Structure 1
Amino acid sequence: MSTTKPLLTTLAAACALAVPALAQARQVTLTTQLKNYGGDGAYLAVYLTDPKGAYAGTLWVAGGKAKYYKHLADWNRLSASDSKRLQGVTGASVGAGRTLKVTADLADALLDAGYEIRIDAAAEDMRDSPSEIRVPLSTAQAGKPQAGKQYIQAFSYQLK
């Protein structure tokens, strides 16, 4: 018993030092510049997927009317079982030619671990664009603009 207590004390101290390192978060600023596509404001869903392509969380949803979320097809399908997917992460739709800039806190463990930032886009009376953007969440990709397929002129993110 006497050898167990020092071992448990050492193990507890090591865990106390390691756990905060695992829980470190980094601020990420996401910038999405829309094209002048000639339509109404776009709905955007900015979300993360894990290395296997499964939904890992919603970072931001631009557009406040839930009845239109079905047009953000990949995000809507992947996140459907996440009852908290919209808590504190929604804002107005984004007009053509405008820029959406949001900041999120992401765990350091997600960087360079195979996660992707994805953006689905849709605009009223226009074609939906699921997975308009798919970009690795990595230190190497940070700051590099990525062109979208239909509505997004450029997307980039900065790590702080």
Structure 2
Amino acid sequence: MKSKLLITAIISLLIFAAFSPKPKSTPYKCMIQLINYDGEGAYIVVSLLDPQGNYVETLNILGDDQEWYHDLTAWWKYFENSTEKIDAITGATISGGERTIKVIKIDDDKLDKGYRIRFETAVEDQKYVQDDVTFELTSENVKSKIEGTGYIRYIRMLPQK
């Protein structure tokens, strides 16, 4: 009798979890324009940080060779111990002077709540830039052009509602 009750409770929880509403998210087109530099393609990781600066989620990665992920030092400390799946959000690097457009999804409940977006960059045999672009996730900033401080000249985001 107890085992039937336990099994029923577990099945009920699984069904409830499967049908619980997930936070609504909005896709954003994100153009990343790099400065002119010599060298290999830049590895770029785009992350969501909570108001205290802790990693919440990896939103996108430019660079699909995991051998070099440790060069993105701050993100790597988070990622190597996480269970996050990144296969669907990785792509090729881009080189000096190039640009790319990526689509990133951000949960709407994070907007205007003190969360931040961080772009970290690293280039083989060159410097690592932890805060190449970092900005507060506000309704205004997600429609803005934001200057970079390292390999990124600027990023521009546009909501795709």
TM-score with structure 1 setting the length: 0.81
Is residue 74–residue 131 contact of structure 1 (8 Å, CA) maintained in 2?
no
Q: What is the aligned partner in structure 2 of residue 40 from structure 1? A: 40
For 1:96, give the aligned amino acid.
Answer: G
1:70 aligned residue: 70
Deviations 1:15-72 (A, max 9, x none): xxxx75x722211111110011122111101111011111111111111111211111
The residue aligned with 1:106 is 106
Inter-partner Cα distance in structure 1 for 2:84 and 2:125: 29
Q: CA RMSD in A?
A: 1.6
Task: Provide structure 2 residue ranges, at least 5 long, that are not aligned to the other structure.
Answer: 1-19
Aligned 8 A contact 1:132 1:152 in 2: yes
CA deviation after TM superposition for structure 1 residue 100, in Å: 2.2
Query: Aligned-pair distance for 1:85?
Result: 4.2
Partner residue in 2 for 1:97? 97
Counterpart residue number, 1:124: 124
- Secondary structure of the residue that 1:28 maps to in structure 2? strand
Partner of 1:29: 29
Structure 2 match to 1:158: 158
The structural deviation recorded for 1:79 is 2.7
Q: Which residue of 2 aligns with 1:143?
A: 143
What SS does structure 2 have at the residue aligned with 1:146? strand
Q: Is the 8 A contact 1:58 1:85 kept in 2?
A: no
CA distance in 1 between counterparts of 2:100 and 2:76 reads: 20
Q: Which residue of 1 aligns with 2:60?
A: 60
Task: Give distance in 2, aligned partners of 1:73 and 1:98.
Answer: 23
Provide the aligned length of Structure 1 versus Structure 2. 141
Give the aligned partner of residue 82 of structure 1.
82
Task: Work out the CA distance in 1 between the residues paired with 2:49 and 2:81.
Answer: 14
Identity %: 28
The superposition leaves residues 55-111 of structure 1 with CA deviations (integer Å, 9 ceiling, x where unpaired) of 111111111111211111111123332222423111111111111211122211011
Aligned counterparts of 2:85 and 2:118: Cα–Cα separation in 1? 15
Are the equivalent residues in 2 in contact too, given 1:57–1:85 (CA < 8 A)?
no
Q: Structure 1: any 5+ residue segments left out of the alignment?
A: 1-18
Q: Residues 85 and 135 (structure 1 numbering): CA distance in 2 closer, same or farther, change over 3 Å?
A: farther
